[in-house]
Amino acid sequence: MSQAPLAERASAREAPHPERRGLPAGVPVRWASLREALHAEWTKLRTLSSTGWLLLGVIAVTVVVSASAAAATRCPSGVACPVDTTKLSLTGIEAGQAVVAILAVLAISGEYSTGMIRTTLTAMPRRAGVLAAKATILTGLVLAGGTVAVAGSLLAGRLILPGHGFTPARGFPLLSLAEGPVLRAAAGSVLYLVLIALLSLGTAAAVRDSGTAIGVILGLLYLFPIVAQVVNPHWYRHLQQIGPMTAGLAIQATTGLRSLPVSPWAGLGVLAAWAAAALLAGGLLLRLRDA
Partner 1 sequence: MTASTVTQYRPAQRPGRDGFAQLLRAEWTKFRTVRAWVIGLVIAVLVMIGVGLFGASAGGSSCQAVSGGPVRTGGACAPTFPAGPGGEPVTDSFYFVRQPLAGNGSITVRISSLTGLLPPANPGPVATDTRPGLVPWAKAGIIIKESTRPGSAYAAMMVTADHGVRLQNDFTGDTKGQPGAVTTTSPRWLRLTRSGDTVTGFDSADGTHWTQVGTVHLSGLATTVQAGLFATSPEYSVISQNFGGGGGGSILPSQATAVFDHVGRSGTWPASAWSGGYIGAAGGSGIGKYHQASGRFTVTGSGDIAPIVAGSGNSGDPGKTITDHLVGTFAGLIAVIVVATLFITAEYRRDLIRTTLTATPRRGRVLAAKAIVISSVTFVAGLVAAAAGVIIGAQVSHARGSLVFPVSWLTEVRVIAGTAALVAVAAVLALALGTVLRRSAAAVTIVIVAIVLPYILGVASILPVGASEWLLRITPAAAFAIQQAAVQYPQVNALYTPTSGYFPLAPWAGLAVLCGYAALALILATIMLRRRDV
- What residues contact 100, with CB distance under 8 A and at least 6 apart? 58, 142, 145, 146, 193, 196, 197, 200
Question: Which 8-state DSSP code applies to residue 230?
Answer: T
Nearest-angstrom CA–CA distance, 245 and 227: 13
Binding of partner 1 by 113 (CB under 8 A): yes
Given 87, 127, 134, 184, the residue binding partner 1 (CB under 8 A): 87
Rule CB under 8 A: is residue 77 a binding residue for partner 1? Answer: no
In terms of C-beta density within 10 A (0-12 exposed, 13-18 middle, 19 or more buried), how is residue 18 classed? exposed
CB atoms inside a 10 Å sphere around CB 105? 26
What distance in Å separates the CA atoms of residue 249 and residue 84, rounded to the nearest whole number? Answer: 13
Decide: is 98 part of the binding site for partner 1 (CB under 8 A): yes
Asked if 83 is part of the footprint of partner 1 (rule: CB under 8 A), the reply reads: yes
Cα separation, 272 vs 45, whole angstroms: 24
218 counts as binding partner 1 under rule CB under 8 A: yes
Q: Which is nearer to partner 1, 36 or 112 (CB)?
A: 112
- Residue 23 or 116: the one with the smaller Cβ distance to partner 1 is 116
Does position 228 interact with partner 1 (CB under 8 A)? The reply is: yes
Give the three-class secondary structure for 25: coil
Residue closer to partner 1 by CB (options 235, 265) is: 235
Per-residue DSSP letter, 289? S
Q: Give the E-state strand segments of the chain in sequence order.
A: none
Specify the stretch interacting with partner 1 by CB under 8 A; choose among 27-35, 172-180, 190-198, 220-228: 220-228
Query: Do 270 and 277 meet the contact criterion of CB atoms below 8 Å apart?
Result: no
Q: Does 259 bind partner 1 (CB under 8 A)?
A: no
Candidate list 229, 258, 288, 290; residue touching partner 1; CB under 8 A: 229
- State which of positions 175-194 bind partner 1 (CB under 8 A): none
Name which position in 17, 20, 46, 74 contacts partner 1 (CB under 8 A).
74
Helices 34-46 & 127-160 angle (0-180, nearest 10):
50
The region of 10-18, 150-158, 186-194, 232-240 touching partner 1 under the rule CB under 8 A is: 232-240
Task: Establish if 88 lies at the interface with partner 1 (CB under 8 A).
Answer: yes
Q: Does 257 bind partner 1 (CB under 8 A)?
A: no
Spatial separation of the C-alpha atoms in residues 206 and 196, rounded to whole Å:
15
Stretch that binds partner 1, among 1-9, 37-45, 94-102, 264-272 (CB under 8 A): 94-102
Instruction: Sketch the per residue contact string, 54 through 73, with partner 1: x for CB under 8 A, - otherwise.
Output: ---------------x--xx
Interaction between residue 94 and partner 1 (CB under 8 A): yes
Cα Rg of the chain (Å, integer) = 22
Q: Which residue in 19, 235, 265, 287 binds partner 1 (CB under 8 A)?
A: 235
Note whether 201 and 141 are within 8 A (CB).
no
Residue numbers at the binding site for partner 1 (CB under 8 A):
69, 72-76, 79-84, 87-88, 91, 94-95, 98-99, 101-102, 105-106, 109, 113, 209-215, 218-219, 222-223, 225-235
